Amino acid sequence: MNALENKRILIIGFVWPEPKSSAAGSRMMQLIAFFKENGGKITFASTASKSEFSEELIDVDRKQIALNCASFDVFVSDLQPDLVLFDRFMTEEQFGWRVAEHCPNTMRMLDSEDLHCLREARRLTVLKNKPFDLNNDLAKREIASMYRCDVTLMISEFEMVLLQTHFKVPSFLLFYLPIWVENEKLNLPSFEERSDFMFIGNFLHAPNHDAVVYLKEVIWPLLFQKFPEAKMHIYGAYPTQKIISLHQPKLNFFVHGRAESSFEVISKARILLAPIRFGAGIKGKLLEAMQFGTPSVTSSIGAEAMNGDLLWNGFVTDSPEDFADRAIELYQNKTTWFDARQNGFEILKNRFSKDVFEDSFREFLSDKFKNFEKYRNENFTGLLLMHHFLQSTKYMAKWIEEKNKQ
């Protein structure tokens, strides 16, 4: 019998999913679809407000919840879910202790999205010129959250290894589940039918914002000088005024804002450029580029944890001069372009196939439910952290709750 059949699953979302705005939104919709397909009864709850771009959640109960409010205790006590999925560690900090107190036998699962402390350490190094420090305050919060949960879903193999070697997180608390892709045949434009360079990304995400500014100010002048016919198109949700101000038609640099369809804009471009200087996880834009047959030039952090031992679907370089040269080479050489596209298809088939990960995730959950008490007792550090978390966070939340009544 399927381990999820008729299981009550509560997902506490950091935001309401926007799959057309970010890879995080696509990831959440994949998890919801998986739970539904395997017989789970899903409730999605969030403190955030819905936007006009929020996905309509079909056959999913929806609940607006509030921070520091006893109404959540009543809600979760009545629901008594078999599994609670926290969307990023911040939601676990806010609601984990309430779930543990009112539903002690519920499995608590964290979806990390990416390792926030790694992204922050890299950001401070790049933008603030600070020494790389992985043991930052964000790490203490994030790793503690992982211990308090029964399992954390990771999308990056690199981060899986980092957690086990640097932070000594036990392997049984982690499960590798990347964003996966469907094995579907798309009608993709040819080399001759494509033109121009492009970038796409949610600009609320700091690495995307930085990448486009760096692209415009450092890389594009080098590329445009050598290849004045080149055109660069920037797409993405929630562009800031800084991003909008980068629009300069005289330099063939165009900022378009939100794209209605990522397939439309990526598949029409000949090359995707993603000079990502800091970040973590795997990059949805690069995964989609592979799906849509669009080679890319990116940084070592951009390609991190994606291609394994396989050849990249284009070039990986951290030198601005080399980045510009490689982008021009890939754009102009049809043979190099075609080989790069095939490399992308191989990466998808061997490393991101939905069929492989669906089966392994289903088996993993079956084992977790079957041996739930054993796994939880083996995680003594998690039990210890939850005990103290309950004592401190609970009473702080209660104090805020009483203060809000005044």
The model's confidence at residue 391, banded by pLDDT at 50, 70 and 90, is confident
- Tokens 């036990």 correspond to 170
The arithmetic mean of pLDDT across residues 58-74, rounded, is 96
Question: Residue 155: helix, strand or coil by DSSP?
Answer: coil
The arithmetic mean of pLDDT across residues 107-126, rounded, is 97
Fold matches, 8-180+354-405 and 197-351: yes
- Map out the domains of the chain as residue ranges: 8-180+354-405, 197-351
The model's confidence at residue 382, banded by pLDDT at 50, 70 and 90, is very high
Distance CA 173, CA 151 (A): 4
The arithmetic mean of pLDDT across residues 233-239, rounded, is 97
Distance CA 33, CA 35 (A): 6
The arithmetic mean of pLDDT across residues 117-136, rounded, is 97
- pLDDT at position 183, please? 76
The model's confidence at residue 389, banded by pLDDT at 50, 70 and 90, is confident
Q: What is the pLDDT of residues 3-13, one digit of tens each?
A: 899 999 999 99
What count of other Cβ atoms lies within 10 Å of the Cβ of residue 313? 31
CA 265 to chain centre: 21
Sign of the four-CA dihedral 77, 78, 84, 86 = negative
The model's confidence at residue 227, banded by pLDDT at 50, 70 and 90, is very high
Domain 197-351: CATH class, spelled out: alpha beta
- pLDDT at position 394, please? 67
- pLDDT at position 390, please? 75
The model's confidence at residue 398, banded by pLDDT at 50, 70 and 90, is low
Q: Please name the amino acid found at residue 390.
A: L
Q: What is the pLDDT of residues 334-377, one digit of tens each?
A: 999 999 999 999 999 999 999 889 999 999 999 999 999 999 99
Task: List CB contacts of 401: < 8 A, sequence separation 6 or more.
Answer: 68, 69, 70
Architecture of domain 8-180+354-405: 3-Layer(aba) Sandwich (3.40)
Backbone phi, then psi, for 45, in 5-degree steps? Answer: -130, 150
